[in-house]
Amino acid sequence: KAGVTQTPRYLIKTRGQQVTLSCSPISGHRSVSWYQQTPGQGLQFLFEYFSETQRNKGNFPGRFSGRQFSNSRSEMNVSTLELGDSALYLCASSTGTSQETQYFGPGTRLLVL
């Protein structure tokens, strides 16, 4: 079974721009979660989507948004980029049942200049 895939793997943007990251979950998985990883703040939960609905949300500003499509693929969007948004963005998928294991993709490394 193919794992979680994320595209693109690397991105360079400038302040004020917006960016869209994509995540394809493991086949059959209906839940997709997004995490931000930075050296200072570590791994932080952004949001989770299940069956095209946002089910859970972390403490991030409204500039961070996401969506999920009917095939369970998910996109994350960050608008008006700030230098502090530079991070590794990780996507994880699971079946969506309570406390089920989440499987992570390789991440998208975003650099904001």
Residue 33 in contact with other proteins, rule: CB under 8 A = yes
Single out the residue of 19, 21, 48, 64 in contact with other proteins (rule: CB under 8 A): 48
CA gap 51, 30 in Å, rounded? 6
| 39 φ, ψ (degrees, to nearest 5) | -60, -35
Residue whose CB is less far from other proteins, 47 or 85: 47
Smallest distance, Å, CB 86 to other proteins? 16
Residue 74 in contact with other proteins, rule: CB under 8 A = no
Q: Are 20 and 110 in contact (CB under 8 A)?
A: no
Residue 53 in contact with other proteins, rule: CB under 8 A = no
Residue 4 in contact with other proteins, rule: CB under 8 A = yes
Provide the pairing of β-strand 5-7 with 19-24.
antiparallel
